[in-house]
Amino acid sequence: MRVTVEIECPFWVKRAWKVALPALIIATAGVAFGVPKTFTAGETLTAADLNANFSKLPTTTEWAPYNPVVQNTNGTPLSSSAAGAGSTGYWRRVGDTAEVRIETKVNCTSGYPQWSLPPGLLIDTNKEPFSPQVGTGLAITAANVTVVVVAPQGAGNVVLQGAVPGSAVGTMDCNGLGANGEARMTFAVPIQGWTLNN
């Protein structure tokens, strides 16, 4: 037997929550982001306090183009080109993480294709307990569009995984893309040597 008990709050409690809840959220956000100084109405703002607060914000950069190296997992280069207009890849830094978008056409006939991170960046697998997946993607052929996942391949590359027609579940092989197939993906990974704001 299940019993439900409802407790009616007085009007003044509901009204107090309407005022207190936003203040609680703002205060909690300040703690979460490590803001060292909160200001009150009428208080004089100083450059030192403002600069200290801004120094705690995560470093964020503009999106930058790059051309990922595409090769088989055995190291054999694969020819590739941009799937859309512009570069084959774009990336930006958000704190200690690289956010990456890749859109490539790949001439892939055998093996398992992998895509490189931007030059000089390596995945830091010690920063968080990874699931095997770090993003999502599409494998596009003349006959199929298949949703896949993006997974790290060592510290400097990523691969596509999923049940792609012609490919076993797991790392996608060239049968899943074929000649001139498209791979489109977006993922985010923590980077060795980066912290939130330097």
Instruction: Specify the pLDDT at position 34.
Output: 55
DSSP the chain: -------PPPHHHHHHHHHHHHHHHHHHHHHHTT-S----TTPPP-HHHHHHHHHTSPPB---EEE---EEETTS-B-EEEESSSS-SEEEEEETTEEEEEEEEEEE--SS-EEEEPSTT--B-TTSS---S--EEEEEE-SS-EEEEEEEEETTTEEEEES--TTS-SSB--GGGT-EEEEEEEEEEEEBTT--S--
Instruction: Specify the pLDDT at position 4.
Output: 47
Instruction: Specify the pLDDT at position 5.
Output: 44
Instruction: Specify the pLDDT at position 26.
Output: 52
Residue-level pLDDT, tens digit, the chain, 198 residues: 554 444 455 544 445 445 555 555 555 555 455 556 777 788 777 887 777 766 667 788 999 999 999 998 888 898 888 887 777 999 999 999 999 999 999 888 888 899 999 999 999 988 866 667 889 898 888 888 888 889 898 899 999 887 545 544 578 888 878 778 899 999 999 999 998 877
Instruction: Specify the pLDDT at position 17.
Output: 47
Contact by Cβ (8 Å): 140, 170: no
Instruction: Specify the pLDDT at position 75.
Output: 85
